[in-house]
């Protein structure tokens, strides 16, 4: 569980995070939705509140032309959610449902740090494939 986020309650605040990579997920009615993984999420005081969080690649994120390694600042609301298997199979050894916290409704994106050039050119190639 993300204890630091839990302590913030239902607060809207400013956060920063480093773009790790892009991905996809299956959304409503099987549509493929693009996502972005932020790591080292910190609040406005510089305290780490989560090691990683996945976000939908919204218009606000996309307009910033962010790439892996860039640092972004954004406003978001802390919300609880239930994670774990919610089905009815009893024969599976699956983790129980538990309450966790996330950042929802991200807005007001701003790129505040550029990615450092790395010798790993494959990461940039993958970014260009995702962005099309």
pLDDT digits (tens, 9 = 90+) for 98-125: 889 999 999 999 999 887 655 455 555 5
Residues of the chain under the 50 pLDDT cut: 119, 131
CA dist., res. 49 & res. 102, Å (int) = 10
- 41 is a domain residue: yes
Q: Residue 113 is part of a domain; what is its CATH number?
A: 2.40.50
Residue 48 lies in a domain: yes
Tally of structural domains, the chain: 1
Dig out the tokens for 108 from the structure. Answer: 């007001």
| Parallel/antiparallel/unpaired status of strands 71-83 and 98-113 | antiparallel
For residue 99, being part of any structural domain is answered with: yes
pLDDT, position 73: 95
Residue with tokens 């740090």: 113
Q: Give the chain's count of helices (H) and strands (E).
A: 3, 5
pLDDT of residue 97: 84
- Tell me if 126 is assigned to some domain: no
- Nearest alpha-carbon partner for 38 in 59, 23, 60: 23
- pTM comes to 0.77
């Amino acid at each position: 569980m993300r204890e630091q986020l839990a302590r913030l309650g239902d607060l809207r605040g400013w956060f920063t995070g480093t773009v790790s990579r892009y991905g996809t997920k299956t959304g409503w009615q099987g549509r493929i939705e693009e996502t972005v993984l932020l790591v080292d999420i910190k609040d406005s005081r510089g305290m780490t509140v989560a090691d990683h969080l996945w976000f939908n690649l919204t218009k606000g994120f996309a307009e910033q032309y962010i790439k892996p390694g860039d640092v972004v600042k954004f406003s978001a609301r802390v919300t609880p959610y239930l994670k774990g298997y919610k089905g009815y199979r009893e024969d599976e050894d699956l983790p129980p449902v538990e309450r966790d916290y996330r950042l929802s409704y991200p807005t007001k994106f701003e790129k505040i740090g550029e990615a450092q050039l790395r010798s790993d050119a494959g990461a940039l190639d993958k970014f260009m494939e995702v962005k099309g």
